[in-house]
Amino acid sequence: MKPIKIIDLSHILYNCMPSWPTQPNFLYEMVSNAARDGSTMHIIRQMTTHTGTHVDAPLHFISEGKSVENLPIESFVGEGLVIDLSYKRSGETITVEDIEGYENEIKPEDALMLHTGWDKKFGFNSEYLFEWPHLIEETAKFLVGKKIKALGVDTLSVSGWDGEVLGHGPVAAKGSSARIHKILLEAGVILIESLRSLDKVLDGEKSRRAYFIYAPLALKGADGGPCRALALIFE
């Protein structure tokens, strides 16, 4: 069956793009040009496994957790649900109550995608870099209980920012980032962070099902990896 629409959910990668505030910049450059050298080629000078739209594997927070290449490829594709949480404001928590209204729509083995609209704030600003809506431990446990296979967000992380960098004071996230990640990753929930365009999947609805692809680079021993995330709409 051919999808009626394919939606790209990935941010375009470019030099020094916004990313997790303490990570080194993404850097790449052209080393040959077809008009001059007969072929065009670029070299990636610097990139973390959590650059741009990316997947978190269990190894990211679990010392004995599986790395990317040790997860079955089925972990990175599947049917799922996008739900609308665009009413959440800066720094607000995503609670069980926010999810409960969609409880009957969430199926076991779903890839659940949370649309906050934070991708529209993408850039070097406080809201995008530090003050996004985020899960708390109670919500993470609730989602584990729903037996989802993956959780995607259009923010920098499923958990909140809880630190301090030069030029920006501390932001008190609700709950431990490490603990929230561990709750999900220990249960085998794959995390997809820094998504975009989930509103295009919803297309004006409060929830909508789609088929998702979010396969990362197959880096040996990696705790995660950049991915080209897609939503396929069948109707």
Any idea where the domains of the chain sit in the sequence? Answer: 5-11+48-233
Q: Residue 129 is encoded by which pair of tokens?
A: 């870099």
Q: What is the pLDDT along the chain (235 residues), one digit of tens a residue?
A: 788 999 999 999 999 999 999 999 999 999 999 999 999 999 999 999 999 999 999 999 999 999 999 999 999 999 999 999 999 999 999 999 999 999 999 999 999 999 999 999 999 999 999 999 999 999 999 999 999 999 999 999 999 997 776 666 666 567 789 999 999 999 999 999 999 999 999 999 999 999 999 999 999 999 999 999 999 999 7
With tokens 């109670």, the residue in question is 138
**Shortest CA distance to 155 belongs to which of 136, 128, 137, 180?**
128
- CB under 8 A, 24+ apart: contacts of 44-48: 47/226, 48/19, 48/23, 48/24
Output the pTM of the full model: 0.96
Backbone φ and ψ for 138, nearest 5 degrees, come out as -60, -40
Taking the CA atoms of the chain, what radius of gyration do you get in angstroms?
A: 18
Which residue stretches of 96-176 are H helix?
96-100, 126-130, 137-145
With tokens 């790449």, the residue in question is 28
> Which is the CATH superfamily of the domain at 5-11+48-233?
Putative cyclase (3.50.30.50)
Residue 174: C-alpha distances to residues 56, 159, 191 (Å): 21, 8, 19
pLDDT tens digits, one per residue of 205-226: 999 999 999 999 999 999 999 9
Residue 101 DSSP symbol:
T
